Structure 1
Amino acid sequence: MDEAPDALDRLAIHKAREGVGAWLPTTVTAPLPAIHGALERIARRVLSGGPGALVLGSYLEGPYFTPQNKGAHPL
């Protein structure tokens, strides 16, 4: 998850160039503080808007894996 201030803008612009009108940035398996930080950045982008494809919210992937079904994700 990229912490660069313009990361979501760059991704949204790229998505729009691909024909995407709206999207959900997705978190990856990571420590909870990193996921929380990503969600805060996504929430700010949702509220403030910005260039490119519309950010509708977020999709949480990582925190819901169990040790039995973790696949390649570290737990």
Structure 2
Amino acid sequence: MHEHVSEVARLRQQIADELESMQRGFSHFAAGVARHDFIRARMEKIGDRQEELAHYIGQQDAVHIVCELYIDKIAGKQGQH
């Protein structure tokens, strides 16, 4: 059980890290292909981690966690700039 909880926490942190990286990319990159490629790569990694997370807690809960993290890391910071 402890291993399961640790793995969920690790995946959650990786998703949060990718979202924070993506958020920085929104404001630090010039517009264009480089920015698009950077953000797409982050989204792909988040999707991969979400699928791993779903293995432990189910698809619905994994989606819920990713949405909560997105709101916290991206949507919540849009108005702060």
The two structures have a TM-score, normalised by structure 1, of 0.37
Relative to the length of structure 2, the TM-score reads 0.35
Higher helix share: 2
